[in-house]
Structure 1
Amino acid sequence: METLTNLESFVRSAESGSFSAAARRLALTPAAVSRNVAMLERNLGVRLFQRSTRKLTLTEAGESFLAAVGGNLESLQNAIAAVSADDGQPAGVLKISVAPSFGIGYLLPLLPEFLQRYPRVRPEWHFENRTVDLIAEGYDAAIGGGFELASGVVARTLAPLHVIAFASPAYLARHTLPADPSGLIDLDCIVMRSLSSGRIRTWNMRNAQGDEVIATMRETVVVNDPTAVREAARLGLGVAMLAVPDVLPELESGELVRVLPRWWADAGALSLYYPSRQLMPGKTRSFIDFVVEAFQREDYARRFAGSLG
């Protein structure tokens, strides 16, 4: 009887046309995927792929075999996931993507409690400032904002993503505060250049009365990382704008102070993304429930709302 690992390595390699892409999806090395496929070919006594330095293509036998097992593989995985969920002990590698600032500040501190509750789950958490392809890259879940909902992916809203203006008390003591966001142009500003577009983001701020004003910021300091933006503001270099989660501890401690506290920009929602499957693996379900529970316990939906002033 052929192993599920060998079959899965074959199917994912055929779907992606690459051992490397299949390895990323399966959380294996390309060499391991190649070995699994070679073992499958040896056991079957046929060549399933034509290999070259540039591409991987199915042989006629490989195409026939993929048609026979491709759909059944999902059923086998769902059956295994159901067993994992039913025995009350989620297990396996949990591959998560999350932005470094949010992941280290909010998610990582939850890890000891999560592992105590689910000791058979092995975290593989990627802290990265990019939007990942959950299905193609083999992630179990991701936390962030602005993900495109590709087929088979769902989003569960955790909290609003409101962008606010802030500065250090020392900087504000030396300058006159603006009456509305248009006045930010008269102050030193710390802005962030997008890693994906290379552009500096501008924000359309609003207030509770429904007024909207573009926040035009003078580019005194330019960086490309939200943590650097926050630290530059703490050093008194000017006014900056970030989502509330990126600066909440400093706001609550008084190290940073909101500028224009009645104004904010809506950047969408902070969401938990995960592949929608008929039977979700126990490790993924346990992580989703755990994160939702933690957000409710810490009242993050309210604390992240910049509209509260």
Structure 2
Amino acid sequence: MTRHFDDLQLGSIELFCLAAETGSFTRAASLAGVTPAAVSRSVARLEERLGVRLFVRTTRQMRLTDGGHNYYEQCRQALTQLLDAEREVTGGQRVPSGLLRISVPTPYAHYKLLPLLPAFRQRYPEVHLDIHASNRNIDFVEEGYDLAIRGREPADSRLIARRLEEAELVVVATPAYLARAGTPLTLEALAGHECIQFEMPSTGRTAPWSFNVAGKRLELETTGTYTCLDDYLATVTLVKSGAGVMQAYRFTVQKELDNGELVEVLATFGGTSRPFMLIYPHARHVPLRVRVFIDYLIQAGVSPPAAPCA
């Protein structure tokens, strides 16, 4: 293997990452035990080697350029992998530790994942969790995430997908709305109702509703004057407020169905579901903190009480 980096260059990369994380050459120097001038020289060497500016510096602030941000994300990931490999080889990673970054959709975060995390932290107190609760797709390499949970299998063959569960879908409304607008008994009847929509961030299209018709799955486009973007739980809040009917994951509305706040409709066409997948990049070396978290989720079955976090 051809050698591409000497010790000075690797040290420069570490100091650059410290400067990016702290936003200051002085603070980075203090943490590294060197002078601010040494940090400045290291960054200058990298900029000369790469032929790009990594920071925009003024008398008041310092920030990464777009190129600097991309370079930092990949350098941080590479340095973390080197550290994990060293710990594993020397036995220092017998105890999982370090930062674990997870991206998860809002309904799954609030009703499934977040309630499991305190027990995980009790078991592995040296693992720190950075949780991105959003329905926006993320880029593992660019944004430095270790794991993601998504409602579909990834198209990218470089990613591994493990099925966590099949989440049942159910159409619901409040008793007050049904008293006012009537109860739909057929799929055709939905055309006369206020069907609350959710726009999928990945496609910019509203999500179709899924039904079981004579043993076959039917994807049905519905219409309505309410469309929620990005936050899926906004649709649940709307339907609980009597705005209309909504097809939701059962786990997000089970409490309200049990106490009568919501009523299931079109149950004869129910029984369909959508998968939730645990997704992570292919890698020869998977950090121990990632491996134990994957095992924890699989063993837990991701089935805590169906109640959102406050």
Is the TM-score greater than 0.5?
Answer: yes
Change (3 A) 1:127 1:187: same
Check conservation: 1:191, 1:223, Cα contact below 8 A. yes
Kindly provide the amino acid, as one letter, of the partner of residue 166 in structure 1: V
Residue 92 in structure 1 maps to residue 104 in structure 2: no
CA distance in 2, matches of 1:81, 1:185: 60
* Structure 2 unpaired stretches of 5+: 1-5, 33-37, 57-64, 69-77
CA distance in 2, matches of 1:7, 1:131: 32
Check conservation: 1:182, 1:213, Cα contact below 8 A. no
Report how far residue 199 of structure 1 moved. Answer: 3.2
Kindly provide the amino acid, as one letter, of the partner of residue 240 in structure 1: M
Report how far residue 109 of structure 1 moved. Answer: 1.6
SS at match of 2:301: helix
Report how far residue 123 of structure 1 moved. Answer: 0.8
Correspondent of 1:273 among 279, 282, 307: 279
Check conservation: 1:204, 1:212, Cα contact below 8 A. yes
For 2:109, the equivalent position in structure 1 comes to: 103
Check conservation: 2:196, 2:226, Cα contact below 8 A. yes
Check conservation: 2:173, 2:242, Cα contact below 8 A. yes
CA distance in 1, matches of 2:195, 2:152: 25
CA distance in 2, matches of 1:188, 1:110: 35
SS at match of 2:279: strand
For 2:215, the equivalent position in structure 1 comes to: 210
For 2:227, the equivalent position in structure 1 comes to: 222
Check conservation: 1:95, 1:141, Cα contact below 8 A. yes
Check conservation: 1:234, 1:255, Cα contact below 8 A. yes
CA distance in 2, matches of 1:126, 1:232: 23
Change (3 A) 1:5 1:291: farther
For 1:250, the equivalent position in structure 2 comes to: 256
Residue 130 in structure 1 maps to residue 130 in structure 2: no
Kindly provide the amino acid, as one letter, of the partner of residue 51 in structure 1: V
Report how far residue 202 of structure 1 moved. Answer: 2.6
Size of the aligned set, in residue pairs, is 272
CA distance in 1, matches of 2:218, 2:126: 51
For 2:124, the equivalent position in structure 1 comes to: 118
Check conservation: 2:154, 2:161, Cα contact below 8 A. no
For 2:52, the equivalent position in structure 1 comes to: 51
For 2:288, the equivalent position in structure 1 comes to: 282
| TM-score, length of structure 2 as denominator length | 0.70
Kindly provide the amino acid, as one letter, of the partner of residue 119 in structure 1: P
CA distance in 2, matches of 1:5, 1:132: 28
SS at match of 1:172: helix
Report how far residue 112 of structure 1 moved. Answer: 1.5
C-alpha RMSD over aligned residues: 4.1
CA distance in 1, matches of 2:9, 2:194: 59
Change (3 A) 1:277 1:127: same
SS at match of 1:278: coil
Report how far residue 30 of structure 1 moved. Answer: 6.9
Check conservation: 2:135, 2:232, Cα contact below 8 A. no
Change (3 A) 1:237 1:80: same
How many percent of aligned residue pairs carry the same amino acid? Answer: 30
For 1:66, the equivalent position in structure 2 comes to: none
CA distance in 1, matches of 2:226, 2:286: 46
Report how far residue 144 of structure 1 moved. Answer: 1.7
CA distance in 1, matches of 2:24, 2:258: 49
